[in-house]
Amino acid sequence: MGQSSIRQLREQDVPSLFVIQGNDQGRRFELNDAVTSIGRDRTNTIQLHDTEISRRHAEIRLDGSRYELIDQESSNGCFINNELANRGYLTSGDRVQLGRTLMIFTHAETASEVRDAHRDPLIRQENVPDGSRIIRTVHHSEGSQIFMLPGGEGPETEWFTTARANLQLMYHTALAVSRTLDIDQLLDYIMGLVFDWIDADRGCVMLLDEESMHFTPKARRFRPGRQGADEAIVISRTILDFVLEKREGVLTTNASDDSRWDPAGSIITQGVREAICVPMQGRYGIVGAIYLDTFTAPGDAALQKKRRFNDDHLKLMVAVAHQAALAVEDTNYYSAVVQSERLAAVGQAVAAISHHVKNILQGIRGGSYLVEEGIKGTDVPLIEKGWGIVERNQERISTLVMDMLSYSKEREPDLTAANVNDTVGDVVELMQSRAAEFGVALNYTPLPLEIQLMFDVEGLHRAVLNVLSNAIDACQTVETPKVDVTVSLDEQTHRLNIDVVDNGCGIPPEKIDSIFTAFESSKGNRGTGLGLPVSQKILREHGGDIVVESSPGAGSRFTLYFPAHIAAPSPSPLDRPTQMD
């Protein structure tokens, strides 16, 4: 879901702002007007729920084919790609920050240019001989071997050994970042790589909370057997504030000799001799910090002369932290896209269901009115007519609720031994009265064999009921409507087939793929758009599916199939072992 959603967002033809950080995270605002106002007040074209945004914070104006962001004398200003801007033209991919809300601007023209490259006549793929030959192949797992010393080149120098270790750290960090979206797992793995590379005693990764501006520990490592391994890591707030404000990594030794640090917060009192703290600087800002230290008991500090951390360690830790920050931002962006998609799906579901429930309630209200009028005048036929309307709408709302539960709930089918002829036959018998009401001839051909199969009786009953109900509705407009239901066993594929064939209006080819999409209905107010998706879900839970063959004006064939697992026969009383006294 996530990758297709990202592609859809990138391919939108309408210029837009997509919120990736802030209270409105996951929302996408299209820029359809020549002037788009942005602010906290609800009268704006785009209303952002951010207390640091002014009531009317900014405007985006269409200037020819370009969009210009104009600050409206806001309190906290507008930022384009982290630069304060009173006004400035936007290009696709620009980061727009208002208050604590961070958005990405996307432009249709850029998307068009990217898509046009796929149709470039200068880029073609043809099956023609090119006279070339493959002289070497390399598996992706061999990529790290570029850091190994070639054979026969003599001993490594200290500089080469250090450089190779540095490259290996960056290589494995980049590899880890590309492989996982689990931030906790990723950060713990990166800390393991860092500890294999640098002789630190303790370390942790902290992520920054945008609202409170407090750091939250996410991963912790210590070197077993070292002093201070069991001690709590106490990090100087002075160092964290410096890293956050200056956006610079720091390497500390004796903090009491460094004028930048407050003596009251000196790390030497915590038993820390050396420390590295680097910001996790991403594309859009700082998302956290990585902290490493070496621990020495306060009484032994004078005995430790050799430094374990140096400038190269600091520089590489800045690079590692940047890679980790990009992974955190990508995960947050992915989560925002998923959240946006979920909200859109919920909105669509609520709109569709509310509309259908409203129609059902109107039907119940109309039937209730007839019942009340019949009671007043002691008119039994009117009461029966009204009650019939109420009953039909009660059945509709019951079907809606059951379909909603079946579609939304992940479940394993309750497999029991049963006769499929009985289940399908019960559905056909249940629908006979409805078919007769619309003049539809409903025929049923059961399986010639009387065998017990393993399937979910209630689930299959609902799946067949939904498909058969649609078939009856589809052939109401023809002169001699007919629906045939046939159960058969395919011995070659070992699957059971239930064919529901009607001679109704048929389905256009371009709409066949969408009939199993939730809330897509061709029945107007009479359909919920859940019947076929629920049926397909039930069959897939059985390891089967639904196949559709249809053409406009020639009717449709729905084949419901699933593996035919024959139930083991139950032992008879005579076959059961007898317990001996």
For residues 339 and 320, state if they share a domain: no
pLDDT score at 528:
61
The CATH number covering residue 536 comes to 3.30.565.10
Give the span between the Cα atoms of 165 and 497, in whole angstroms: 62
Q: Name which of 124-128, 473-477, 514-518 the model is least confident about.
A: 124-128
Asked if residue 4 is part of any domain, the answer here is no
- Of 201, 386, 206, the closest CA to residue 297 belongs to 201
Q: What percent of the chain has pLDDT over 70?
A: 72
> Is there a single domain that holds both residue 173 and residue 239?
yes
Residue 134's pLDDT is 44
Count up the domains in the chain and report the number.
Answer: 4
Residues 191, 221: Cα–Cα separation, whole Å: 7
Q: How does pLDDT run across 455-505, given as a tens digit for each residue?
A: 999 889 989 988 998 899 888 888 889 999 999 998 888 899 999 999 988
Residue 420 lies in a domain: yes
Determine how many CB atoms are found less than 10 A away from the CB of residue 451: 15
pLDDT at 6: 40
State whether 424 and 349 are in the same domain. no
Residue 131, in any domain of the structure? yes
Give the count of beta carbons closer than 10 Å to the beta carbon of residue 119: 7
Q: Which of 219-228, 300-309, 415-424, 538-547 has the lowest mean pLDDT?
A: 300-309
Residues 434 and 516 occupy one common structural domain: yes
Would you place residue 119 in the very low, low, confident or very high pLDDT band (cuts 50, 70, 90)? very low
427 domain residue, yes or no: yes
570 within some domain = no
Q: Is residue 298 part of a domain?
A: yes
DSSP E strands, 354-452: 416-418, 441-445
CATH number of the structural domain spanning residue 366 = 1.10.287
Q: Which of 57-61, 207-211, 532-536, 559-563 has the lowest mean pLDDT?
A: 207-211
Output the CA angle 51-56-62, nearest 5 degrees.
125
Q: Which of 291, 313, 330 is the last residue of a domain?
A: 330
Quick one: pLDDT at residue 229?
Answer: 58
Q: Which of 407, 430, 456 is the last residue before a domain boundary?
A: 407
Report how far residue 338's alpha carbon sits from residue 195's, in angstroms, rounded to the nearest whole number: 34
Pair (147, 296) in one structural domain: yes
Q: Mark whether 253 and 377 lie in a shared domain.
A: no
Are residues 44 and 38 in contact, defined by beta-carbon separation less than 8 angstroms?
A: yes
Q: Which domain holds residue 80?
A: 16-106
Residues 398 and 386 placed together within one structural domain of the fold: yes
Pull the structure tokens for residue 305: 């002369």
CA distances from 297 to 227, 257, 275, 292, 317 (A): 7, 18, 15, 16, 25
In a shared domain, residues 199 and 285: yes
Residue 1 — very low, low, confident or very high, per pLDDT cuts 50/70/90?
very low
25 lies in the same domain as 169: no
164 lies in the same domain as 309: yes
pLDDT category of residue 57 using cuts at 50, 70 and 90 = very high
